[in-house]
Structure formats: C-alpha cells, structure tokens
Amino acid sequence: MTYHGGCQCGAVAFEADGEITQLVECNCSICKPKGYLLWFVPEADFRLTTDESALSEYRFNTHKIAHQFCSTCGVSTFGHGPGMYAVNARTLKDFDVKSVPIQAFDGASR
C-alpha cells in the first residue's frame, strides 16, 4: 500500500510504500516533546514528492539521523538514517494512528 503524508502547509509531501503493522513511541529528548509515532520504512520505499529545499534538518547526539521538518510551518514529517526513513505517522493522510499497536521504545536511556 502507498501512504501519502506531509506537513500542514503543503510545502513538504512524501509517499511511502508498505504495511503499517506497528508504530513506535520513543521517549528520547526529541521524539517525546514532538509526540512522534514512528513507522520505519526502507529507503527504497520512500519518495519525497516536493522539492528538498522546503526541508530543514536537525541532528543531535550521534548525528546519524537527519530529523527533517518543514522550513515554513515547522511540522516534523520524518527522519532519515542509513538506509531507513522514520516517518512520523501523525503526518500521514487518511491513517488512524490508533488502528495499530504502539510499542514503547526507551530512547532516553541510549
């Protein structure tokens, strides 16, 4: 299945292929305050459908994950690490985050 997502203002939009069977709720210093519910997608199954210039990036800790957000409205849509995208499921169109199990992840202890 192909899911469509993006930010509030429409400057950032993407598509991701796969099945969402579970989401991850991390308690690290960036995921917790932003309320991320993450769906992990292989790099080959993710497509940015708007211009990359609409994105801003933030890296912290090990600097391996590029946390990306809209430069205009500030909505955090996804992060990108080696070979993988972590999609913020709250930014998916027509997807109910309560429809799948949510697994807690203790990122604060890492």
Q: Which two tokens stand for residue 102?
A: 């949510």
How does DSSP assign the chain, residue by residue?
A: -EEEEE-SSSS-EEEEES----EEEE-STTHHHHT--EEEEEGGGEEE-S-GGGEEEE--TTS-SEEEEETTT--EEEEEETTEEEEEGGGBTT--GGGS-EEEE-GGG-
pTM, 2 dp: 0.93
pLDDT at site 29: 93
pLDDT at site 102: 98
CA 67 to chain centre: 8
Residue range 23-61, pLDDT digits in tens: 999 999 999 999 999 999 999 999 999 999 999 999 988
Residue 62's pLDDT band (cuts 50, 70, 90): confident
Residue 63's pLDDT band (cuts 50, 70, 90): confident
Going from the N-terminus, what domains does the chain have, and what CATH number goes with each?
A: 2-109 (2.170.150.70)
